[in-house]
Structure 1
Amino acid sequence: MGTPKWKIKGITDDFTECGCCGRRGLKRTVALMPLDADGNEDGTAEDVAYYGTSCAAIALGWTQRKVSDAARAAQAQQNQRDAHARRMISLYAPLEFAPIRERARMFYSRNRSLRHTGVKASEEVAKRLAEARATLADTTTGPARASRIEDFRRYRVIFTSDRHIHQVLSVPDDEAKRQEQESAAARRAQQIRGSVLVVAALDADSAHDVAYSYEAAPEWLEQGWKAAHV
């Protein structure tokens, strides 16, 4: 069997026309990255072809079921990379221009095993932010995803008495609803002898990470949010 000409990158509903046969109105298409003679990816997002599952199956020499399974698996991996990227940006973007000691405090609070290994926190923070932004800017299986501090939302985090997260709530934009949520969260925290913290992040899952790491750099996390939402 020869070297495959394509690699499945995921599945998307942003492209509904098959790039092979031209059929339109598809519910979704498979994103196919061209490969070179050695089986390495040979292109960027602009070179990706979007085929229906039947045409993708013919192109790969697979069954449609195998194509569908592989596309879903590839997309799941991309979604995981996106989630990790959102966490990195939510944690480190507000500290991007903070003093080195502040970046180091946040980084080592989350990566204690690297504290005395020679790994420089400032370099790692810059590296992780660059990788995260590149991940969310990738348009292989859809439009670029939110990645700026300006895209952060406020989340109200309720902790239990032993500092585990009990609940994360998106803070409403409406003032009346916001006050109602604040009061309800305070009552709930009192019931479970916990506490409440408001943080900013790209999504609720990222808010978990920010809340657990908040004490490492509270002033900079707040300043980053406020500076972007003046």
Structure 2
Amino acid sequence: MPIAKWKIKGIVDDYDTCGCCGRRGLKRTVALMPLDADGNEDGTPEDVAYYGTSCAATALGWTQRKVTDTARAAQAEHNQRDNYARRMISIYAPVEFAPTRDKARVYYSRNHYRRATGVKASEEVAKLLAEARATLADTTTGPARPSRIEDFHRYLVIFTSDELIFLVQRVPEEETERQEQAAAAHRRADQIRGSIRVVAALDADSAHDVAYADELTREWNTKGWQAAHA
């Protein structure tokens, strides 16, 4: 059986022209990474071709339905990697230049099982951040995504009385809107006998992680936000 020459990496909205037949105005294209003779990826994002589903099906010898299903699955995996990367950056970027002791406490609070394994927290944090930033910088299926502390937004998190997250809201930029949001949030927290925290993160899902993190992680999260917006 011949080895495929392409691997589907996902679905792209930024390219509406098929790189094979030249057809324009497509709703989406499929990102195809070239493969070498052994079936391994053989290129960078700059080498990716963007084909319409019909041309992609011809190139792969598949049906259009299989191309579409595979592309959607690949894109879902891509999005999951992005989500994980945003979480890692939201947690660890604020402690990147923190004292070694604090960095270790933050890392081991989330990775208890690694405390007695000889793993160095500073090295692991640096590795996690490098991998996360590389993930968000990948342009295979779209432009690079925000990955800096300067890209963080503040989120207001309301907890129930048993410390479960009830609501996460992005804090508005405008002062009057912030005050209105805060007042409404306090009323709601009082109604459910809950509490409120404000954290900084790349997105709302990452804000969940930060809000649930230990006190030291949240302390450095606040410091990171303040330093980036001083």
TM-score normalised according to structure 2 size: 0.98
Q: Is the 8 A contact 2:199 2:218 kept in 1?
A: no
Percent identical residues: 76
In structure 1, C-alpha distance between the alignment counterparts of 2:224 and 2:194, rounded to whole Å: 26
Could you tell me which amino acid in structure 1 is paired with residue 114 of structure 2? L
**In the alignment, structure 1 residue 202 sits paired with structure 2 residue 207:** no
CA shift for structure 1 position 12: 0.6
CA shift for structure 1 position 119: 1.4
Could you tell me which amino acid in structure 1 is paired with residue 163 of structure 2? R
Aligned partner of 2:80 in structure 1 is 80
Q: Is the 8 A contact 1:214 1:221 kept in 2?
A: no
Aligned partner of 2:11 in structure 1 is 11
Secondary structure at 1:217's aligned position in 2?
helix
Could you tell me which amino acid in structure 2 is paired with residue 163 of structure 1? E
In structure 1, C-alpha distance between the alignment counterparts of 2:113 and 2:192, rounded to whole Å: 33
Q: Is the 8 A contact 1:15 1:50 kept in 2?
A: yes
How do 1:67-146 and structure 2 match up within 5 A? 67-146=67-146
In structure 1, C-alpha distance between the alignment counterparts of 2:34 and 2:27, rounded to whole Å: 23
In structure 1, C-alpha distance between the alignment counterparts of 2:105 and 2:168, rounded to whole Å: 25
Could you tell me which amino acid in structure 1 is paired with residue 19 of structure 2? G
Structure 1: where are the runs of 5+ without partners? none
Aligned partner of 2:164 in structure 1 is 164
Aligned partner of 1:190 in structure 2 is 190
How do 1:170-181 and structure 2 match up within 5 A? 170-181=170-181
In structure 2, C-alpha distance between the alignment counterparts of 1:217 and 1:205, rounded to whole Å: 16
In structure 2, C-alpha distance between the alignment counterparts of 1:105 and 1:75, rounded to whole Å: 35
Secondary structure at 1:166's aligned position in 2?
strand
Q: Is the 8 A contact 2:109 2:214 kept in 1?
A: no
Q: Encode CA deviations 1:102-131: one digit per residue, 9 max, x unaligned.
A: 111111111111111111111111000000
In structure 2, C-alpha distance between the alignment counterparts of 1:179 and 1:173, rounded to whole Å: 11
In structure 2, C-alpha distance between the alignment counterparts of 1:12 and 1:36, rounded to whole Å: 23
Q: Encode CA deviations 1:109-163: one digit per residue, 9 max, x unaligned.
A: 1111111111111111100000000000000000000101111000000111111
Between 115-124 and 137-146, report the one with greater CA deviation. 115-124
Aligned partner of 1:52 in structure 2 is 52
Instruction: Please report the RMSD computed on the Cα atoms of aligned residues, expressed in angstroms.
Output: 0.8
Could you tell me which amino acid in structure 2 is paired with residue 80 of structure 1? Q
In structure 2, C-alpha distance between the alignment counterparts of 1:85 and 1:190, rounded to whole Å: 34
Could you tell me which amino acid in structure 1 is paired with residue 208 of structure 2? H
CA shift for structure 1 position 218: 3.3
**Off by >2 Å, runs of 4+ in structure 1:** 216-219
TM-score normalised according to structure 1 size: 0.98
CA shift for structure 1 position 66: 0.1
In structure 1, C-alpha distance between the alignment counterparts of 2:200 and 2:77, rounded to whole Å: 25
Aligned residues: 230
In structure 2, C-alpha distance between the alignment counterparts of 1:188 and 1:219, rounded to whole Å: 25
Secondary structure at 2:124's aligned position in 1?
helix
